[in-house]
């Protein structure tokens, strides 16, 4: 008596694809958290409200840094007519992007 299964190659490919997608999600999460940490170290601190309101959120393939209860974060980042921007998020992004690129390339190999 023997059993034969057809389509196992397709199942195996699908499982490998799912495993690699999970690795991509982990890569996005790791780099989002790194960027959030770097942004917290470079953010200007006067009262601490801006720094303390910063949160990072990750869902599937997206990472987000948000400021809950701090409506002036964009003015500190980009500046106004009378104040230069501090670009703390851009600096954190620039410091993180190369590592993210390397991590993603490592997943493809």
- Summarised one tens digit per residue, pLDDT across range 49-59 is 999 999 999 98
**Domain residue limits at 90:** 9-108
Structural domain includes residue 2? no
Structural domain includes residue 97? yes
Residue 75 corresponds to which tokens in the numbers above? Answer: 């003015």
Tell me which H or E stretch contains 2: none
* 65 closest CA partner among 83, 88, 49: 88
Report the number of distinct structural domains present in the chain: 1
- Summarised one tens digit per residue, pLDDT across range 18-45 is 778 888 889 899 999 999 999 999 999 9
Structural domain includes residue 1? no
* 97 closest CA partner among 28, 43, 42: 28
Structural domain includes residue 26? yes
Beta bridge partners of 67: 54
Asked if 38 contacts 68 with a C-beta cutoff of 8 angstroms, the reply is no
- C-alpha–C-alpha distance, residues 14 and 66, integer Å: 35
Structural domain includes residue 103? yes
Structural domain includes residue 3? no
């Amino acid at each position: 008596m023997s059993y034969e299964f057809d389509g196992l190659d397709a199942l195996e490919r699908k499982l490998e694809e799912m495993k690699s997608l999970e690795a991509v999600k982990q890569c996005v999460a790791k780099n989002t958290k790194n960027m959030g940490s770097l942004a917290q170290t470079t953010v200007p601190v006067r009262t601490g409200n801006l720094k303390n309101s910063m949160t990072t959120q990750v869902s599937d393939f997206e990472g987000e840094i948000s400021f809950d209860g701090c409506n002036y974060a964009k003015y500190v980042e980009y500046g106004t007519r009378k104040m230069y921007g501090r670009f703390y998020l851009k600096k954190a992004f620039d410091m993180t992007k190369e590592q993210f690129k390397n991590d993603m390339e490592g997943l493809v190999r």
